[in-house]
Amino acid sequence: MRVLLSTIGSRGEVQPVVALASELRALGQDVRLCVPPDFRAWLDELGFDVVPIGPELRGTASVRRPTPEELRKATEETVVTQFETVAVAAEGCDVLVAAGALQFATRSIAQRTGAAYVYASFCPITLPSEHHAPPPMPWRSPGKAENRALWAEDAQHWNLMFGEKVNECRATVGQDPVDDLQAHVFTDRPWLAADAALAPWPEPEDPRVVQTGAWVWPDERPLPPGLLEFLDAGEPPVYFGFGSMRAPGELAEAMLAAARAHGRRAVIARGWAGLAAADGQPDCFGIGEVNQQALFRRVAAVVHHGGAGTTTTAARAGAPQVVVPQMYDQHYFAGRVRELGLGAATEPGVPTADTLATALETALRPDVATRARQFAGKVRTDGASVAARQLLATVPLSVGFPGRRSSVG
pLDDT tens digits along 357-407: 999 999 999 999 999 999 999 999 999 999 999 999 987 655 443 334 456
Distance CA 132, CA 150 (A): 9
Q: Which helix (H) or strand (E) holds 98?
A: strand 95-99
Distance CA 272, CA 62 (A): 9
* 352-355 long-range Cβ contacts below 8 angstroms, 24+ apart: 352/254, 353/253, 353/254, 353/255, 353/257, 353/258, 353/261, 354/258
* DSSP per residue, 234-247: SS--EEEE-TT---
Distance CA 307, CA 200 (A): 16
Is the pLDDT score of 105 beyond 90? yes
Q: Is residue 119 within 8 Å of 107, Cβ to Cβ?
A: yes
Looking at residue 403, what is its pLDDT?
38
Q: Is residue 32 within 8 Å of 4, Cβ to Cβ?
A: yes
pLDDT-based confidence at 54, cuts 50/70/90?
Answer: confident
**88/71: higher pLDDT:** 88
CA distances from 92 to 30, 88, 96, 115 (A): 11, 9, 11, 9
Q: What is the mean pLDDT of residues 92-120?
A: 95
- Domains of the chain, each with CATH number or no CATH: 2-217+381-397 (3.40.50.2000), 225-376 (3.40.50.2000)
Looking at residue 402, what is its pLDDT?
36
Rounded to the nearest integer, the mean pLDDT of the chain is 89
**Could you give the percent of the chain with pLDDT greater than 70?**
88
Which residues 6+ apart lie within 8 Å of 210 measured at CB? 189, 190, 191, 192, 390, 409
Is the pLDDT score of 324 beyond 80? yes
CA atoms within 13 A on the CB side of 359: 31
Looking at residue 138, what is its pLDDT?
64
**Stretch among 55-69, 216-230, 266-280 having the lowest mean pLDDT:** 55-69
Tens of pLDDT along 166-178? Answer: 999 999 999 999 9
Is the pLDDT score of 328 beyond 50? yes
Cα-flanking dihedrals φ and ψ of residue 192, to 5°? -120, 105
